[in-house]
């Protein structure tokens, strides 16, 4: 699933291609992509100037001139990119949004879990999922990070993955940040003292920023808006490397399930 760095990379790549343009028409090849319905989307989104493209949590956002917004939730295999007029449609293409320069914004999704929603001005705040998102990790202060975790008995890895606690972090970057901070993924949040929480937040920000600089991580399907694979997977310290030597102590990395997700860690370096 694209996480914060991947969606941020896509947003930055799309912005120079579509800001200032307008969506002129909508072609829907899979109606399941629109849980909010197509009629309202056509009414609220088409023929309005695109003002900016940005990210909130793992959502790819397009804001229009009057404050209307489009939200793409890429889920596991969604991809959004600009296609040339003569480009053949991808076999997993689900939605095509025509642009006023003859190009089109394509949303393809092999697994068909991704969604697209349109919101009239102010309407997004009434979407329960959006309203319930936690703070962004890259702008989070140590004090607010500590407050978000204060008194929680949940495992730290589970809380990092909980989008209502911290928005945008997924399995990859939680594992990498916990290793950098020397904290086991199954540690109770309430048992982590303040200085170690501060170190964890610093590690999380560092990992996320480096991943954005590398264009995200491509494990299988993820591509940037330009169709390029990310490169941060070559910098993984622990994610997906159970049984391999720890890059710090050379002992074997182990894995366990936390919050239903496989977590890889070093039992010697993380405690």
Angstrom distance (rounded) from CA 54 to CA 248: 36
Q: Is 261 a catalytic residue?
A: yes
Q: Is 142 a catalytic residue?
A: no
Residue at token pair 């996480």: 3
Given 3, 6, 63, 176, the catalytic residue: 3
- Pairing outcome for strands 50-56 and 59-64: antiparallel
| Helices 194-213 + 171-181 axis angle, to 10 | 130
SS3 at position 34: coil
Given 5, 6, 55, 58, the catalytic residue: 58
**CA-closest candidate to residue 265, choices 183, 202, 207, 193:** 183
Rg, the chain, Cα only: 20
Q: Is 3 a catalytic residue?
A: yes
Given 2, 5, 137, 185, the catalytic residue: 2
Residue at token pair 């309202």: 40
Q: Is 2 a catalytic residue?
A: yes
Given 12, 48, 237, 261, the catalytic residue: 261
CA distances from 185 to 51, 179, 240, 262 (A): 40, 9, 14, 10
Angstrom distance (rounded) from CA 54 to CA 259: 29
- Positions marked active-site: 2-3, 58, 261
């Amino acid at each position: 699933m694209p996480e914060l760095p991947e969606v941020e990379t896509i947003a930055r790549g799309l912005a120079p291609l579509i800001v200032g343009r307008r969506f002129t028409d909508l072609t829907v090849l899979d109606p399941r992509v629109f849980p909010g319905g197509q009629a309202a989307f056509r009414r609220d989104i088409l023929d309005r100037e695109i003002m900016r493209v940005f990210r909130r949590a793992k959502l790819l956002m397009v804001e229009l001139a009057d404050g209307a917004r489009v939200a793409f939730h890429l889920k596991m295999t969604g991809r959004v990119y600009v296609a040339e007029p003569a480009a053949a449609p991808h076999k997993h293409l689900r939605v095509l949004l025509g642009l006023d320069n003859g190009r089109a914004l394509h949303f393809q999704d092999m697994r068909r879990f991704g969604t697209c929603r349109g919101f009239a001005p102010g309407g997004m705040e009434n979407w329960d999922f959006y309203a319930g998102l936690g703070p962004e990790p890259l702008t989070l202060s140590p004090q607010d990070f500590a407050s978000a975790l204060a008194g929680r008995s949940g495992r730290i890895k589970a809380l990092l993955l909980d989008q209502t606690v911290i928005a945008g972090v997924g399995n990859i970057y939680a594992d990498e940040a916990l290793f950098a901070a020397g904290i086991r993924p199954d540690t109770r949040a309430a048992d982590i003292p303040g200085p170690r929480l501060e170190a964890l937040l610093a590690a999380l920000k560092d990992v996320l920023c480096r991943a954005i600089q590398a264009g995200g991580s491509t494990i299988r399907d993820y591509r940037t808006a330009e169709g390029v694979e990310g490169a941060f997977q070559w910098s993984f310290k622990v994610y997906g490397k159970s049984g391999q030597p720890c890059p710090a102590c050379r002992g074997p990395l182990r894995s366990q399930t936390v919050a239903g997700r496989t977590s890889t860690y070093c039992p010697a370096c993380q405690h």
